[in-house]
C-alpha cells in the first residue's frame, strides 16, 4: 500500500462546531505532516510528527489541535474555526531520515461558514 488516505473529502462546518480530519498510511512511515493549502498557493506546513511525537508546530493557532494516536494515524481536531481557515488540508508521510519523498494524501476540502 503506497497511498496516504484522508477522510472526509469535503467538510462544511460552522464557527462553533468541533470536527476532526483523519489521515492514514500503511507504508511504515514514522514521520507525518499536516499542510494547509489555499487556492492558487503552495502547501504551507502546519505540524510535523516524528515517531508519534510532535516535532514541529509552525505557530499554528490553538483552534487546530493535532494528534498522532499511532504510527499509522494522524488526526487534526478543529474547534472554533474562522472563515479564513477554509482551505485544502493535506496530510503527508515519509520516512524520518531526510532525503526522502513526502507522500501526500488527496486532502480534505474544508469550508468554514
Taking CB under 8 A as the criterion, the residue among 90, 108, 110, 112 binding other proteins is 90
The Cβ-side half-sphere exposure at 33, using a 13 Å CA radius, reads 19
Taking CB under 8 A as the criterion, the residue among 24, 104, 108, 112 binding other proteins is 104
Q: Which is nearer to other proteins, 10 or 16 (CB)?
A: 10
For 38, the grid coordinates are: 489555499
CA distance 73 to 8: 14
67 binds other proteins (CB under 8 A): no
Q: Rounded to the nearest 5°, which phi and psi values hold at 45?
A: -65, 135
Given a contact cutoff of 8 angstroms between Cβ atoms, the answer to whether 95 and 32 are in contact is no
106 binds other proteins (CB under 8 A): yes
Q: Which is nearer to other proteins, 16 or 59 (CB)?
A: 59
Point out which residues bind other proteins (CB under 8 A): 31, 33, 40-45, 48, 50, 55-56, 90, 94, 96, 98-99, 101-107
Amino acid at each position: 500500500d503506497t497511498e496516504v488516505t484522508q477522510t472526509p473529502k469535503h467538510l462544511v462546518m460552522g464557527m462553533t462546531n468541533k470536527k476532526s480530519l483523519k489521515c492514514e498510511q500503511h507504508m511504515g512511515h514514522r514521520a507525518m505532516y499536516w499542510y494547509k493549502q489555499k487556492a492558487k498557493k503552495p502547501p504551507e506546513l502546519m505540524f510535523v510528527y516524528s515517531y508519534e511525537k510532535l516535532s514541529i508546530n509552525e505557530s499554528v493557532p490553538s483552534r487546530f489541535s493535532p494528534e498522532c494516536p499511532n504510527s499509522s494515524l494522524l488526526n487534526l481536531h478543529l474547534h472554533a474555526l474562522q472563515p479564513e481557515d477554509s482551505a485544502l488540508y493535506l496530510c503527508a508521510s515519509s520516512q524520518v531520515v531526510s532525503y526522502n519523498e513526502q507522500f501526500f494524501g488527496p486532502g480534505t476540502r474544508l469550508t468554514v461558514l
